[in-house]
Structures are given as structure tokens and as C-alpha cells.
Chains A and B, each alone.
Chain A
């Protein structure tokens, strides 16, 4: 085994601390009084549902986001408000979700550049880079251009690059995203070796909760911009609050509504003719494989939910259905016709409407204009149900604010507008991407009530959610998606009752295997 470079880690007494951090964007509180500490030699896991504020916290720690309040201290040195490059030199290194290697530079140059930040003498930086290359066993890739590497190798180079800057603290941003089982295991081993050989503090942000629980000493949970819990993996896993933050809140457990569900009680497949059939779908973003062979069906008039943690590939699924991305494999069949080389315009014309994640209303257009823009008659001679006037009746709050720029609506109002805008196109298939994201419980209630009504009117709905409890409550059938694969599927109540649900959703290791 190559000798471990004892990068300038030194004695293991230092501490990285962010205390009382608050950040707000345009009135939305992204982080509120969050305090995180990381000691050298320790592995801290940072988890939280989508929208919890993890990315904002990472940006604050690395200097890319100024905080409204709070202090950032690295080894007794106050670094609050420092520019990213100074924080980088102060001993905090990071990897990126999307690798972000220097594409048109060799692997060695990538690592050498990072080494240069700790050691401005070029020849020493180069030697350091070579040591790290040997330590990470990247020797074969030394002279390769970074952007020509497969995803897994890019990840490893990203870690090597971060290590080369002799960090005292290392921030790993979604290191397992897009890795297969084998690569994930390698990653786990690498993390253990980093801690043993470099002694730096590791902050691990990861959606793969199973993985993070396995390697972390402590876990910090963020939810809605606040610290929800902190403790050992066991205590966090046992914390009902944490489970609720991910899966959503229902007081009395999911109830099966009496109406609208009866025709096909228990079987896993539809008896209704499928309006949408996704077959063996593979989607890649650059070198990241977001979906690895997903098969999903939605029958005419059905409400189908796809749930899973962030990073599962849910948004990629919707992007593929709407032709925003081209599948790398498999096919999508809409009403018996394969999507093939169809454009976004063709898909919309065929009666598909999307309510995107984060609403994405047109902020400078008025509410009425937002609605008018999506208005079109139903395709294929189907009955046109929704008119702009009718929608304004249906959503009284929108009628009240009809002449207001959409950007000035509250989050919940924007969500209603986004749904109304999609309905104005009289879709046969309505796609919703995380409609509950960032909304208050009461507002979520209202949004889901709306979904039920739309479902009753006969529109086929594909609902993508992280808030599993709510989605399962309203959906006829549910698919659990994790790491680009369908882990579990069937009628919603059966899925929720399935003992395998937690494992499917969170990827918790089997208890037997873990111990």
C-alpha cells in the first residue's frame, strides 16, 4: 500500500464552527439560527429533506453565501464574511455534487492546483499531488483529461483534489450521488481511510441516509432551515421527529379516503388502459446516471405517486417525460404513442402539463397573465373543462390577486397559481414535482385537497413527492424510487404497510447486516 501522505493535518484539536447562522432570500428564511461544529478527526453527517437548507449552509461555510447573522470560526480564527478563496486557504476543502473538475485539465493538474493552495512552491505542490494520486490509486488516470473520465472516476478525482489542499476540514457534498452499490462501498472505505490517514474533520452531506448513518460519528438534521436534531446515528434514526420531517406529517397515520379508489383494490398493475407507460428508462446527466432502468405506469384517470428521498431521480423522470432531457435508454409511451424524438412542444400539445418543483411562475407577469399563457383547449377533441374564468372561480385567492405580479404572491399562492396554470392547458396528464416543498402544513393541506378534486375530475396525475405520507394518502398507487431504481411499488396502502418501506425509502442497511 502506498505510503499515506500526512498532509498538514497536524494535531487533532482544531474545530470548525458555524454558530447562529441565519440566511434569508427575498423574505424566505432559508436558515435560522443554525449552529454546527466539526472537530478534527470526526465525521459529521448533515441530513435533511429537500429544501431543509443544506445547500445554503454549505454555501455559508464555504463563503459563497453571506449570512445575515452568525459567525464562522476555523481553528479559533474568525472567518465570517471571508471570500471563498480565503476560506479555502484557511483549511476548509470541499468536493462538489457535480464533481466540478477542471474539465480541460489533466487529472494531475486538477490535483496539483489544489495542492498549490496549501503550498505555493510549484515543485512541492506537484510532489504533493503525486503522493495523493498514489494514495488514491489514481496513477492510471494521471494524464487523462478530467472531462473525459467516467462519473465514478470524476468523483474520486474530486476527493483527491480536496485532499491535496491539505485540509483540516473536508466537506463532502453528496459523494454517493450517482454511484452504484460497488462504488458506494468503495467510497465508504475511502472515507474510513481519509479519517485514519489524514485526521481531518469530515462533514458529509448525503441523501443516502443508510450510507451516512454507517460512517458518521454524529448526525445533524436540518428541517425547514432549523436544526431539528443532533446526535448519534442510532438516536437520530430512532427520533420520530426526523422520520416525520422526511416522510411528512399526518396525525393519525394515512387514511384511505372512501371515494375514487375502488375499481382496482389490491393488484399492483393497472386494469385501466395506461395513459403513460415508462419502460426501462435510463437518464444520464453528463456522467451521472440519474435513472437506471425505471418502469412506471399510470392508467387513465389514475393518481400515481412516485416518492423517494432527494437524489432518487424523481425530477429526472419528469424531465424525461416532458422531453426536457433525452433518455439514454428505454422508452416513454404516451397514450400508445412512443415519445421518440418528440419535442417539448409536442408533449405539451399531446396534453401533458407540468407543475415544476419550486413553482416557477413567471414572476413579472400578473396572475391573470400567468394563467392566460398556459390556456389551451383540450387536445384530441376531449372536453375542455378549465377556462381561465372558471379557474379564477375555483381559486378565489388568485381572483383576488389577478392583477398582481406573480412574484409578489406567497409561496402557497404561487403553488396554487402553478397548478391553475397547468390546468388551464386542459391536460390529460398532470405532472407535479414536489408540490408541498417549502409550504406550511395548512397550505399543503389545501394543495392536496385541490389534487383530490382534480383527480375526481378525471385527469390522470403523476405526483412526485418527498413527503411520502401525504402522497401515499392521496394516490391510488405508489412507486418508491431510490438511487434511480424502483425499490417498491403497488397500491398505496399496501406500500405503506410494507415492512420494506423504510429500507426502500431511506436505504437503511438491514439490521442484521449492520451489526
Chain B
């Protein structure tokens, strides 16, 4: 019983993290058909930003690291993606791959390839008992942060004018322009929001793995991609669902695989996801984003 509850908590927290990742990627794809590889590097930048300014007071760390990630998110749109706005999705994908690689190796150049310890969360490894469950503090904090971020995003998208505009733009960018939503501003805003999401992921993810490396964004971004494809490219709801599906599957495999196969978990995970795509090539929430017009 307790174990089952523990598993559910695990699935929710992992799934939530993946959903945050998938939403950040899905938002950009919906609006400009860009599969943003470099989203993972925003996570990496968030980690290093905190590490760099670790000696400042807490609130300042939060504000400054967020600002740094946001600036990078906006800058990559302005410098790399805006000149390519009319390019095909495949060209955009290659460009995003290049941006990702550029930032990864820039970090390598500046900070070196060796991982840096990320020790902020070390005080949080102790278990606390909640509703009869022994849960690490860090997991509780992660879960709370994830829920706050998801709720915040939902509120922003539902309740604010800009949020509604952004959803509209993600559904039909051209029509959105025709009802007076300015293209440049809404794209910049989308990158800003995806930057904030990446920053939240970086807090949680860096604390969980306990170290920083230039390539740390890779794992989450690949998971995020697959989650958006599984959920249905072009749908924000789909991205969130896809994140949770991948999270549950990942935790489920961890539980169910026998010990000696556990280290192959990732292979099983991706193979399972490919199978899902075979059954539903357009994802769980199919949109017209990928539909061929004859």
C-alpha cells in the first residue's frame, strides 16, 4: 500500500518535470513550428547561473538566475531563429540543433567539461513523513515547485490576455496576426515563458542529479521532445499529457524491470514510445499541425 503510494508520488513528480519540459518545447513548436533543441541548454544555463551567483542572498539568486535564463531565451530567438522565421520546420530543427551545440560547447569553453557539484539541495535529502509516507524533502520541494509552475502556466494561459493570445497564436498563427496579435511580440513572449519553464526545470533537475555539466540539458530535452511527439505535436494539452505519460512509463519501467535490465531502462522507454507512435503516428492529441494537405 505504502509502496504503491510512493510509486504514485514518484510518477507524479517525474511526470510533472517532464511535462514542464514538454510544455516549454510544445509552446515554441505550436507558434513557430520550431523544435527547439536548445531548450535543454536553457536548463543547463539555469544551473550554471545559480552556481555562479551562489554567494548572493537567496531571493537575489532566484531573481538573477531567472533573468539570465530569460535573457538567453530571448537572445536565441532574436539572433538565431528570427532570420529563419520563414524556413521549413526541418531547417529550423537543424538550426536549433546548432544553437544547442553552440551553447553546450560555450559552457564547455567557459566552465570546462568536468561536472561541477551542485550542493544547494544537500540539506534536503532527509526524509520527512507525510500522510504516513516517508518522502525526501527534495522530492516534496520538487513536487511543490512543479505544481506551482504548472498551475502558474495554466493561470497565465487561461486568465491573462497575453496568455489567451499565446494560445491563439499556437493554434493558428496567421489568424492570430489577423486579429491584431503582434507576431514578434508574441514569439518573444513565448520564448520568455519557455525560458521560465526551463529555469524551473533547472532548479529541480540540478538539485536531483546534484551536479552541473555542459551536456546536462540533453537528457531532459530528448525526453521533452519525445513527450511532445507522443502527446501530439502542436497541442499544449498534448504536451502536458505526453510529459506525464513518459514520466509514468519511466517510473513504471524502473519498478517493473528486473534488476539486471534496469540499466537499460532508457532503451525500453524509447522503444515503448516508438511503439506508441506506430499505433498513433500523430500522437495522443492529434492536431492538424502535421496533416498533409493534398
Q: In whole angstroms, what is the CA distance A349 to B185 when docked? A: 15
Segment among A132-140, A155-163, A358-366, A477-485 that sits at the interface with chain B: A358-366
Q: A372-B164, A373-B168 are in contact. Are A356 and B175 (CB under 8 A)?
A: yes
A362→B178 contact, CB < 8 A: no
B178→A356 contact, CB < 8 A: yes
A345→B168 contact, CB < 8 A: no
Taking CB as reference atom, which chain A residue is nearest B174? Answer: A324
Q: A360-B172, A362-B167 are in contact. Are A425 and B180 (CB under 8 A)?
A: yes
The yes or no answer to B114 lying at the interface (CB within 8 A) is no
The yes or no answer to A344 lying at the interface (CB within 8 A) is yes
Q: In whole angstroms, what is the CA distance A356 to B179 when docked? A: 11
Give the Cβ gap from B61 to chain A, nearest Cβ, in Å.
Answer: 36
Q: Mark A254-272, 1 if CB is under 8 A from B, else 0.
A: 0000000000000000000
User: Across the interface, which residues of B come within 8 angstroms of A360, CB to CB?
Assistant: 172, 175
Taking CB as reference atom, which chain B residue is nearest A359? Answer: B175
B167→A365 contact, CB < 8 A: yes
| A425 CB contact (under 8 Å) in B165, B168, B179, B183 | B179
Q: In whole angstroms, what is the CA distance A216 to B260 when docked? A: 73
| A348 CB contact (under 8 Å) in B168, B174, B179 | B179
User: Across the interface, which residues of B come within 8 angstroms of A455, CB to CB?
Assistant: none
Q: A344-B183, A372-B161 are in contact. Are A364 and B178 (CB under 8 A)?
A: no
User: Across the interface, which residues of A come within 8 angstroms of B182, CB to CB?
Assistant: 345
The yes or no answer to A322 lying at the interface (CB within 8 A) is yes
| A365 CB contact (under 8 Å) in B164, B177, B237 | B164
The yes or no answer to A369 lying at the interface (CB within 8 A) is yes
User: Across the interface, which residues of B come within 8 angstroms of A344, CB to CB?
Assistant: 177-178, 183
The yes or no answer to B63 lying at the interface (CB within 8 A) is no
B180→A348 contact, CB < 8 A: yes
Q: A372-B164, A373-B164 are in contact. Are A345 and B177 (CB under 8 A)?
A: yes
The yes or no answer to A82 lying at the interface (CB within 8 A) is no
The yes or no answer to B130 lying at the interface (CB within 8 A) is no
Q: In whole angstroms, what is the CA distance A428 to B142 when docked? A: 52
A373→B294 contact, CB < 8 A: no
The yes or no answer to B181 lying at the interface (CB within 8 A) is yes
User: Across the interface, which residues of B come within 8 angstroms of A372, CB to CB?
Assistant: 161, 164
Q: Mark A359-393, 1 if CB is under 8 A from B, else 0.
A: 01011110001101110100000000000000000
Give the Cβ gap from A462 to chain B, nearest Cβ, in Å.
Answer: 14
User: Across the interface, which residues of A come within 8 angstroms of B180, CB to CB?
Assistant: 345, 348-349, 374, 376, 425
A59, A373, A425, most chain B CB atoms within 10 A: A373
A365→B178 contact, CB < 8 A: no
Give the Cβ gap from A370 to chain B, nearest Cβ, in Å.
Answer: 8
User: Across the interface, which residues of B come within 8 angstroms of A370, CB to CB?
Assistant: 168
Q: A362-B167, A364-B167, A364-B171 are in contact. Are A374 and B179 (CB under 8 A)?
A: yes
User: Across the interface, which residues of B come within 8 angstroms of A348, CB to CB?
Assistant: 177-180
Give the Cβ gap from A162 to chain B, nearest Cβ, in Å.
Answer: 16
Q: In whole angstroms, what is the CA distance A65 to B293 when docked? A: 11
| A373 CB contact (under 8 Å) in B165, B174, B235 | B165
Q: Mark B229-261, 1 if CB is under 8 A from A, else 0.
A: 000000101000000000000000000000000
B164, B171, B174, B294, most chain A CB atoms within 10 A: B294
Give the Cβ gap from B36 to chain A, nearest Cβ, in Å.
Answer: 21
Q: Mark B106-147, 1 if CB is under 8 A from A, else 0.
A: 000000000000000000000000000000000000000000
User: Across the interface, which residues of A come within 8 angstroms of B171, CB to CB?
Assistant: 362-365
The yes or no answer to A15 lying at the interface (CB within 8 A) is no
Q: In whole angstroms, what is the CA distance A62 to B292 when docked? A: 15
B294→A322 contact, CB < 8 A: no
The B-contacting residues of A in range 318-373, CB under 8 angstroms, are 322, 324, 343-345, 348-349, 353-354, 356, 360, 362-365, 369-370, 372-373
Q: In whole angstroms, what is the CA distance A416 to B145 when docked? A: 42
The yes or no answer to A64 lying at the interface (CB within 8 A) is yes
Q: A64-B294, A344-B183 are in contact. Are A362 and B177 (CB under 8 A)?
A: no
Q: In whole angstroms, what is the CA distance A452 to B271 when docked? A: 60
Q: In whole angstroms, what is the CA distance A37 to B48 when docked? A: 69
User: Across the interface, which residues of B come within 8 angstroms of A343, CB to CB?
Assistant: 183
The yes or no answer to A421 lying at the interface (CB within 8 A) is yes
B178→A373 contact, CB < 8 A: no
B179→A373 contact, CB < 8 A: yes
B161, B168, B178, most chain A CB atoms within 10 A: B178
A362→B172 contact, CB < 8 A: yes
User: Across the interface, which residues of A come within 8 angstroms of B183, CB to CB?
Assistant: 343-345
Q: A345-B180, A345-B183, A373-B165 are in contact. Are A362 and B175 (CB under 8 A)?
A: yes
Give the Cβ gap from A320 to chain B, nearest Cβ, in Å.
Answer: 13
Q: Mark A53-64, 1 if CB is under 8 A from B, else 0.
A: 001000100101
Give the Cβ gap from B32 to chain A, nearest Cβ, in Å.
Answer: 15
A345-B180, A354-B178 are known contacts; what are 10 more A-B pairs with Cβ within 8 Å? A59-B294, A62-B294, A64-B294, A348-B179, A353-B179, A364-B167, A364-B235, A365-B171, A370-B168, A373-B164
- Can you name 14 A-B residue pairings with CB atoms under 8 Å? A344-B177, A354-B178, A362-B171, A364-B167, A364-B237, A365-B171, A369-B167, A372-B164, A373-B165, A373-B168, A374-B180, A376-B180, A421-B179, A425-B179
B residues within 8 Å of A by Cβ? 161, 164-165, 167-168, 171-172, 174-183, 235, 237, 294
3 closest A-B pairs by beta carbon, nearest first, are: A374-B179, A348-B180, A344-B177
